[in-house]
Amino acid sequence: MSRKIVAMILAGGKGTRLEALTKRIAKPAVYFGGKYRIIDFCLSNVANSSIDCVGVLTQYESVVLNHYVSNGEIWGFDGVDNVCVALPPRQTETGANWYRGTADAIYQNLDFLDDEDPEYILILSGDHIYKTTYDQMLATHIKSGADCTIDVMEVDRKEASRFGILEVDNKDNITKFVEKPAEPKSNLASMGVYIFTYKVLRKALVDDAKDPNSEHDFGKNIIPTMLAQNKKMVAYRFSGYWKDVGTLTSLHQANMELLPSNRNANTIKFNEAPAIYGEDTHSRPQYVGPKAVIKNCLINQGAYISGDIEDSVVSNEVEIKEGAKVTRSVLMPGVVVGKNAVVNNCILGPNTAIKDGEKINEGKDEIVLIDKERELE
């Protein structure tokens, strides 16, 4: 069976900058926005693009993520005509290897791709927050005759060194690509979304695997090498909301940008197409007690609010007890905030319990993570 396009989602990252949130689960499985996990956005974008085959490449602490992705039913994959497959590293007759880099992860699954026989391949990062469809990007790739098309957006010059930075000509042909340059000469950043013509990428991956000096990374090796070989590479300009939630600060900020008073033209709108699909928790309705005060919050089903909460995102099965005050915080599933406790500028990890009367980060501006396994003083 041959397919027009197959999507491959890189979802094996450790996410160390998210600290205890990723101690036992992969970064793409972290909760976001009160009712989603980070990977929901990427998989929903694929489903909304009518792409009927997707591989999710997992590695670090993959048990939760593999179980969550399962057969892809949440996102409309039926396992027959529409296929979603988790692809962890595996042992073969030649041995067992962890994925050594983003390019190596795809290389180790060439047999899967060869079986699907795609004309094009879409490479995605599983840890970004954005809504889109990839139809127009694919159409641009085909019309231009490109070997590789990279989704790009303009970023603040001060932030540019965090990204792969491109330079383009007046027709958006890529002329230069540098991964995380110390002194960026452009503010046009790669979003980590690539469409390749599969035959071209396959050869590039095979050649790269033979290079003992390669880091086997798309940004550091595959893309610069293809440019040096004069392959046709095109930039596709993205407009809209996109966020890399790789740090506690950026994760907190992305959640805060969902709140009613912070929304703007670019903010993700969950009630507008294309839809974002996530796990249905089948929780009870929210309960708001007679003494509760709620201001500018996003509250999921199953929350039980008896205290005061402002500028916060609340997941399912959260309980805020009477007299508690919660401000500018993200409360993940199962959190309990005790009576008369104070929580400010926090991310509370799943199933974290704040004791009665405990005061967390009161009056402070920095963002702190409170995890259920923390040592209480």
Residue 128: what residue type?
H
- Lookup: tokens for 240: 């809209």
Comparing 186-190, 261-265, 358-362, 366-370, the range with the smallest average pLDDT is 261-265
CB neighbour list of residue 150: distance below 8 Å, 6 or more residues apart: 166, 174, 177, 190, 191, 193, 194, 223, 233, 234, 235, 236
Output 182 or 92, whichever has higher pLDDT: 182
Average pLDDT over residues 315-342: 96
What is the phi/psi pair of residue 312, to 5°?
-140, 160
State the average pLDDT for the chain. 90
> Where residue 373 falls among pLDDT bands split at 50, 70, 90?
low
* Token pair 């508690």: residue: 324
CATH 3.90.550.10 for domain 3-256, yes or no, is: yes
Least confident of 64-78, 136-150, 207-221: 64-78
CA atoms within 13 A on the CB side of 84: 23
Residue 342 or 71, more confident:
342
Containing H/E element for 129? strand 128-130
Rg (CA), the chain: 22
Beta-strand pair 164-168/188-197: antiparallel
Centroid of chain to Cα 12: 11
Looking up tokens 């396009």, which residue turns up?
Answer: 5
The pLDDT value recorded for residue 281 is: 66
**Contact 189/166 with Cβ under 8 angstroms?**
yes
| Identity at 56, one-letter amino acid code | V
Alpha-helical (H) ranges within the chain are 39-48, 63-69, 102-107, 110-116, 135-144, 198-209, 223-228, 248-256
Percent of the chain with pLDDT over 90: 67
Q: Which of 15-29, 62-76, 336-350 has the lowest mean pLDDT?
A: 15-29
Q: Is the pLDDT of residue 9 over 60?
A: yes
Closest C-alpha to 278, from 82, 28, 27: 28
Q: Position 121: which residue type?
A: I
- Quick one: pLDDT at residue 5? 97
Write down the pLDDT at residue 15. 62
- pLDDT at 93 > cutoff 60: no
| Percentage of the residues of the chain whose pLDDT score is greater than 70 | 94
Quick: pLDDT tens for 118-162: 999 999 998 899 999 999 999 999 999 999 999 999 988 888 888
Name which of 94-98, 199-203, 286-290, 361-365 the model is least confident about.
94-98
φ/ψ region of 33 (left if φ > 0, alpha if ψ in -120 to 50, else beta) reads left
| Predicted pLDDT of residue 62 | 76
Q: Is 99's pLDDT higher than 90?
A: no
**Helix-then-strand count for the chain, H and E:** 8, 30
d(Cα 371, Cα 21) in Å, to the nearest integer?
A: 7
Contact between 275 and 74 under an 8 Å Cβ cutoff? The reply is: no
Is a pLDDT exceeding 60 seen at residue 374? no
Domain residue ranges of the chain, discontinuous segments joined by +: 3-256, 283-370
Distance of alpha carbon 363 from alpha carbon 371, whole angstroms? 20
Q: Quick check: 175 and 169 in contact, CB under 8 A?
A: yes
- Asked if 300 contacts 34 with a C-beta cutoff of 8 angstroms, the reply is yes
Query: What CATH number does domain 283-370 carry, 1.10.3720.10, 3.40.50.720, 2.160.10.10, 3.40.50.10440?
Result: 2.160.10.10
Report helix, strand or coil for 258.
coil
Q: What's the pLDDT score for residue 377?
A: 39
* Phi, then psi, of 288 in degrees rounded to 5: -120, 115
**Burial class (CB within 10 angstroms; exposed 0-12, middle 13-18, buried 19+) of 226:** buried
Check for a shared fold between 3-256 and 283-370. Answer: no
Indicate whether 375 pLDDT > 60.
Answer: no
